[in-house]
Amino acid sequence: MEMAIFKHHIQLHEGISSMKRPIMTSTAVLREPSLDATPNDAAVARDLQDTLASHAEECVGMAANMIGVNKRIIAFQDDALNRIVVMFNPQIIQQNGEYTTEEGCLSLQGLRATTRFHNITVQYADADFKEKIALYSGWTAQIIQHEIDHCSGILI
């Protein structure tokens, strides 16, 4: 087991980033609320970001439990910034504009109907663990809601 983890990190640092990194699909960690993240989880965040980048064609966001780590960390493709954004301990503090839509998930088969909010205000710590509050709308807001649900052990 330790060898396997060691090998994984070698791959990370040798930069075999075009290889799709493994995703959890049916483990308990996806159904459990994750724990608060700390600055010590920076390496997990980088791993999550690299894993999302390796799945960028078919996946717009991920939560750390999708790579088997039960910490409240998300990464998502932000089309406005044209890069992947990482958030530690994201929390929705305001929301409005409820609607129903269909969503898919890399950890599940098929599409499911779900309720989302068009506008959200998110409180989080950024990649440098600085506290931030930001407003998101539409597609990016939908992705963030999906990933925050993952952090609570909620699948669509």
Ligand X SMILES: CSCC[C@H](NC=O)C(=O)O
Element (H, E) at 117: strand 111-125
Asked if 124 and 148 touch (Cβ cutoff 8 Å), the reply is: no
Largest CA distance in the chain: 49
CA dist 41 and 104 (Å) reads 27
Q: Which of 61, 87, 136, 151 binds ligand X (CB under 6 A)?
A: 61
Q: Which of 106, 117, 118, 153 binds ligand X (CB under 6 A)?
A: 106
Active site residues per annotation:
147
Q: Which of 30, 44, 45, 60 binds ligand X (CB under 6 A)?
A: 60
Cα 24 → chain centroid: 12
Q: Binding of ligand X at residue 84 (CB under 6 A)?
A: no
Q: Binding of ligand X at residue 29 (CB under 6 A)?
A: no
Q: Binding of ligand X at residue 103 (CB under 6 A)?
A: yes
Q: Binding of ligand X at residue 50 (CB under 6 A)?
A: no
